[in-house]
Copies of this chain bind each other. A is one copy, B any other.
Amino acid sequence: MSTLPSKELEVFPNPKPSRDYTIQIESPEFTCLCPKTGQPDFATIRLEYIPDASCVELKSWKLYLWSYRDEGAFHEAVTNRILDDVVKATDPRYARIEAEFLVRGGVYTTVVAEHFQEE
């Protein structure tokens, strides 16, 4: 497996697809750049999902988040994009991204987006 930052999320087969269960993954090490000022932004990213056929490989998730380090990203857009990428890679029964950003201008922002698998 690569150890370089990458937008490609690797997956592995869900060991218990017959049961709906939840996987929660928290990473306090997300950083990207503010598209307006070019200055660093920081966030804790929380992924919670009910897998269908595939699960997100943990090391790959770490490399995926790392891939934003040198990119400009707005709070609202990047949260939705991360959710879209999880959905594209694993087609989960349910998924939720919570991005809790460090304070900017005296203001604390958190963005939360959910996805439900279509039946």
- A residues near B, CB below 8 A? 3, 14-16, 19-29, 31, 37, 39-40, 42, 51, 55, 58-59, 61-62, 66, 69, 74-77, 79-80, 102-115
Choose among B16, B58, B77, B109 the residue that contacts A24 (Cβ–Cβ < 8 A): B109
30 A-B residue pairs with Cβ-Cβ distance under 8 Å, sorted by A, are: A3-B37, A3-B39, A15-B74, A16-B113, A19-B80, A19-B115, A21-B111, A21-B112, A22-B112, A23-B75, A23-B110, A23-B111, A23-B112, A25-B109, A26-B108, A27-B106, A28-B42, A28-B102, A28-B106, A29-B40, A29-B42, A31-B42, A39-B66, A40-B69, A58-B104, A59-B105, A61-B107, A102-B106, A103-B103, A104-B106
